[in-house]
Amino acid sequence: MSQLPSSVDVVVIGAGASGLMCAITAGYRGRSVLLLEHSNKAGRKILMSGGGRCNFTHMFSTPANFLSSNPHFCKSALSRYRPQDFVDMVDRHGIEYHEKTPGQLFCDVSSKEILQMLLTEADWAGVQLQLNTSIESIEPNSPGYQLETSSGPVSCQSLVIATGGLSIPNVGATGFAYDLAQRFGMQVTERRAALVPFTLQPDLLTPRKELAGVSQPARVSCAGVSFKEPILFTHRGLSGPSVLQISSYWTPGATVEVDLLPDLDLEGLLLQQRTDHPRWSLERSLSEHMSKRTAQILCELWGFAGDELGQLSNSRIESICQAFKHWRVKPSGTEGYRTAEVTIGGIVTDAVSQKTFEAKSAPGLYFIGECLDVTGHLGGHNFQWAWASGFCCGQAV
Ligand SMILES: Cc1cc2nc3c(=O)[nH]c(=O)nc-3n(C[C@H](O)[C@H](O)[C@H](O)COP(=O)(O)OP(=O)(O)OC[C@H]3O[C@@H](n4cnc5c(N)ncnc54)[C@H](O)[C@@H]3O)c2cc1C
Encode pLDDT of 178-213 as tens digits: 999 999 999 999 999 999 999 999 888 887 788 999
Q: Express each pLDDT in 259-284 by its tens digit.
A: 999 999 999 999 999 999 999 999 99
- Amino acid 204: pLDDT: 82
Buried b (16+ CB within 10 A) or exposed e, 282-319: bbebbbebbeeebbbbbbeeeebeebebeebeeeebee
Q: Which atom of ligand 1 is nearest to the CA of 42?
A: 49
Indicate if the pLDDT at residue 239 is higher than 90. Answer: yes
- pLDDT for the residue numbered 158: 98
Which residue, judged by its Cα, is nearest atom 41 of ligand 1? 176
**How sure is the predictor about 112, in pLDDT bands with cuts at 50, 70 and 90?**
very high
| The pLDDT of residue 251 is above 80 | yes
pTM (2 decimals)?
0.96
Digit-coded pLDDT (tens) for 11-41: 999 999 999 999 999 999 999 999 999 999 9
Distance from the CA of 217 to the center of ligand 1, in angstroms? Answer: 29
pLDDT in tens, 330-374: 999 999 999 999 999 999 999 999 999 999 999 999 999 999 999
- Whole-number Å distance between alpha carbons of 347 and 148: 24
Please determine, for residue 10, whether its predicted confidence score (pLDDT) is greater than 60.
yes
Work out which ligand 1 atom sits closest to the CA atom of 174. Answer: 38
d(CA 11, ligand 1 centre) in Å: 18
Q: Judge contact between 32 and 154, C-beta under 8 A.
A: no
1 has pLDDT over 60 = no
CA of 34 to the centre of ligand 1 (A): 19
Give the binding-site residues of ligand 1, using a 6 Å CB cut-off. 13-19, 36-39, 44-45, 48-50, 54-55, 134-135, 162-164, 167-168, 172, 174, 176, 341-342, 369-370, 380-383, 386
